[in-house]
Amino acid sequence: MSTSGNLEHWELLAGFHGTGSDDYYDVPALIRGEMSLRPLEVAGLDTATRGSGVDGLRVAHVQSHIGIDTVHLARLGATVTAFDFSPVALERLRAIAAACGVEVDTVLADSQALGSTHFAAWHGRFDVVYATIGVICWIADLDAWMQGAAALLKPGGRLLLLDVHPLYCMGESFTPLVLDFPYVNDGPRHFEGSGSYANPDADLPWSIEEYAWSIGETVNAAIGAGMTIVRLDEHVASASDPRGDCMTREPDGLFRLRAGRGGAGALPEPLPVLFTLVAERPGPRGTLSEDEPVG
């Protein structure tokens, strides 16, 4: 995630998203209080908080982008610190949070560096580390990313990672089926194009590097960082299309990616499109005082 092309890409997206040219980031609706977390995010938080919710908890939102979920978490009563490597994204986040009447802290950070001593002031301070969707495909060093997440957590705290399934990431297209991305990590893959997942037709040229990480590699990176796996779920339906133009919304309102011929009136089988990983930093659970300073 430290490549200059990726940073330039996310700076450009941060200036574009939520400005009225896409339906994915409806900032006016957020300000009016008409938006909420999606069901998979709610379910993941339920597991991450042992059913208690985030009210009164400290939450680190890693790779927060412009902070839509940051606002949701704050409205649910969490004390939220947003970490992102894009100054433009954090500037937008602060403006959106202010318009929504919520308080959040922001930290400029490459998420792969959060385990370093530079960020020691935030280590061991959070009940939940929250990261969703489109997270680890930008990460060159997943071990470092997981070590950073573990470092932010206090003992007994939990990571919630809800992300795009690696099988879904493999496809350049699905009708016809064309695979242009690996399932397991083999280093950076370079791509060029234009648009955004929030608006594929937008005039936003990009030159980026992405990284494949299998489910096994992701789980093993969490274990290698000293965390215990609490739950792993793979999802064949989503409330939105994380890539913007690959899935079809079905009558129940959910998006699915189907493959195969079907038969006898049956639809083709749905493929996994998202996964949820909840992992815990072992140790006795404690509490942090509300007035304990950060930094």
Is residue 285 included in any domain, yes or no? no
Q: What is the largest CA-CA distance in the chain?
A: 64
Is residue 233 included in any domain, yes or no? yes
| SS3 at position 287 | coil
Q: 226: domain CATH number?
A: 3.40.50.150
Selection from 142, 141, 269, 247 nearest residue 200 by Cα: 247
How many structural domains is the chain composed of?
1
Q: Are 31 and 66 in contact (CB under 8 A)?
A: no
Is residue 289 included in any domain, yes or no? no
Per-residue model confidence (pLDDT) at position 259:
79
Q: Name the β-bridge partners of 266.
A: 263
Q: Which residue has the higher pLDDT, 201 or 287?
A: 201
Per-residue model confidence (pLDDT) at position 22:
80
- pLDDT tens-digit series, residues 7-29: 999 999 999 998 988 878 899 99
Of 83-97, 151-165, 277-291, the poorest mean pLDDT is in 277-291
Q: Output the six-digit token pair for 35.
A: 């938006």
Per-residue model confidence (pLDDT) at position 247:
84
- pLDDT tens-digit series, residues 241-282: 887 677 889 999 999 998 777 767 788 889 999 999 999 999
Per-residue model confidence (pLDDT) at position 163:
98
Q: Output the six-digit token pair for 62.
A: 């890693």
> Which residues form the domain of 35?
4-280
| SS3 at position 126 | strand
Is residue 287 included in any domain, yes or no? no
- pLDDT tens-digit series, residues 124-173: 999 999 999 999 999 999 999 999 999 999 999 999 999 999 999 998 87
Is residue 288 included in any domain, yes or no? no
Question: What is the enclosing helix (H) or strand (E) of 59?
Answer: strand 58-62
